[in-house]
């Protein structure tokens, strides 16, 4: 499944629609180049969860956790992680907290991710400065609420 976002605000709106419907214990893996809109997506998802605190990129701190919404929200950035020792970091605790976890640059955690996830690749459109294509992939039937969320934005 894929969709197009024409602006950062539209990406936030799309993510907020997902956040309003997302069930507990959902893990979203975000991939895409630098500046694609991964953090923008995470900010919109937090809004949809009802989190009013400002969501910032956790690039230098690895993880940010937010409470106060419909579900707890953990936002991880694995950009600086790779190689041996990933199991020793205890990252699994973030996606076992009964809330929602978003992991940017999740491809760097492939060695320890052994759960069903919603994968979203954000790809800038060539020639369009703010346009993005979002590609959604998951196990068939795993996230029935996703299609409904996408319809609410368009």
In order of start, what are the domains of the chain with their CATH numbers?
Answer: 2-153 (3.40.50.300)
Instruction: Look at residue 84 in the predicted model and tell me its pLDDT.
Output: 47
Spatial distance between the Cα atoms of 117 and 137, rounded to a whole number of angstroms: 9
Distance CA(144)–CA(149), nearest Å, equals 9
Element (H, E) at 46: helix 38-49
So what's the pLDDT on residue 95?
Answer: 64
Q: What is the pTM of this model?
A: 0.85
Query: In this predicted structure, what is the pLDDT of residue 64?
Result: 84
Residue 106: what pLDDT?
Answer: 77
Structure confidence at residue 89 (pLDDT)? 61
Q: What is the block-wise mean pLDDT of the chain (154 residues), using blocks of 10 residues?
A: 88 94 89 90 96 84 84 85 56 72 78 71 83 84 78 66
Q: What is the pLDDT of residue 148?
A: 79
**Angle of CA points 134, 76, 126, to nearest 5°:** 25
State the residue for tokens 């991710």. 113
């Amino acid at each position: 499944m894929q969709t197009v976002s024409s602006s950062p605000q539209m990406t936030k709106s799309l993510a907020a629609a997902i956040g309003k419907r997302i069930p507990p214990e959902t893990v979203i893996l975000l991939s895409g180049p630098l500046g694609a809109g991964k953090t923008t997506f995470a900010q919109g998802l937090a809004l949809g969860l009802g989190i009013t605190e400002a969501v910032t990129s956790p690039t230098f701190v690895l993880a940010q956790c937010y409470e106060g919404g419909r579900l707890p929200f953990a936002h991880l950035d694995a950009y600086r992680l790779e190689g041996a020792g990933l199991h020793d970091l205890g990252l699994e605790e973030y996606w076992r907290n009964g809330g929602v976890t978003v992991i940017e640059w999740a491809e760097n955690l492939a060695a320890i991710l052994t759960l069903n996830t919603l994968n979203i690749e954000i790809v800038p459109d060539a020639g369009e400065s703010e346009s993005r294509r979002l590609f959604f992939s998951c196990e068939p039937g795993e996230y029935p609420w996703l299609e409904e969320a996408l319809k609410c934005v368009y």
